[in-house]
Amino acid sequence: MTKPLGQALDALAAEGINWVSAVACGTAADSAHLLLLLAMGSRFGERTDFRGGQEHPFDRRSEALVEQLLKPALSDRNATLVYPASEPIDLRSWLALAHAQHPAPFGIGIRPDCGPWVSVRAALRTRLQASELTVIEERYPKLAPDSSPCARCAERPCQAACPAAAVTASAFELDRCIAQRLKKDSPCAYECAARNACPVGRDFRYGAEQMRYHYSVSLATLLRYAGTLSTPPSRQA
């Protein structure tokens, strides 16, 4: 007997996983879906012990919440976690298909409610019954294609705030951003001025410690791979 899915979504939201998007990933007949579990704002971080030196604390906590709260509420006993996992998946493409966020000019996602303070915490491949899909989509409706706040942002303060001119009107210059972040004593080592300058969703902004933690992880990755990759690593934080 499964627990009600709505109750599981309530429990996940209380833990900081406060948006779930479902996107079909199989044939119409097999009802396979990818569930994307998003954390908007700082609640997830506030409930995660990332100060104790544990490896990948955000991933471990996401996995535990999926096992404890979400899987018992799904009818599919074979639901499989595909992120975090050892095999990388193209989260950005799945997020676009799911209409869960829009691209922001500084290389991450943005939503009209929480601005650029959103991240994917887990993704699960599962077969959904029609009633389960309805529960998810009524609670978490897809974003309208024309709902990007950037489309209505004439002043674009994110552009002016970037010290490396990596945020331009036409594209995000990732190489410039990486070069700036890797400079000695860079102001971009542990935060992104462009992201901070965005006026959308300010109430969702991460706290100082969480911000530093996420950016220190991505900076460590950049330092590890600097000069050795033809394709730079993702900068999602």
Q: What single letter denotes the amino acid at residue 177? A: C
Question: Judged by CB, which is closer to ligand SF4: 22, or 162?
Answer: 162
Maximum pairwise Cα distance, the chain: 57
Residues 190-209 that bind ligand SF4 (CB under 6 A): 192-194, 198, 200
Binding to ligand SF4 by residue 181, rule CB under 6 A? yes
Q: Is the Cβ–Cβ distance between 38 and 16 less than 8 Å?
A: no
- Measure the CA–CA gap between 96 and 231, rounded to whole angstroms: 21
* Residue 18 burial class via C-beta count within 10 angstroms: exposed 0-12, middle 13-18, buried 19 and up: buried
Return the bridge partners of 32, or none. 127
Q: Judged by CB, which is closer to ligand SF4: 126, or 210?
A: 210
The binder of ligand SF4 chosen from 70, 158, 219, 222 (CB under 6 A): 158
Taking contact as CB under 6 A, which single stretch among the options 92-100, 122-130, 162-170, 205-213 is the one that binds ligand SF4? 162-170
Nearest partner of 108 among 44, 194, 22, judged by Cα: 194
222 binds ligand SF4 per the rule CB under 6 A? no
User: Applying CB under 6 A, which part among 30-38, 45-53, 54-62, 186-194 lies near ligand SF4?
Assistant: 186-194
- 101 near 91, Cβ under 8 Å? no
The residue type of 103 is: P
Nearer to ligand SF4, 128 or 189 (CB): 189
Binding positions for ligand SF4, rule: CB under 6 A: 104-106, 110, 149-150, 153, 156-158, 162, 164, 166-167, 177, 180-181, 188, 192-194, 198, 200
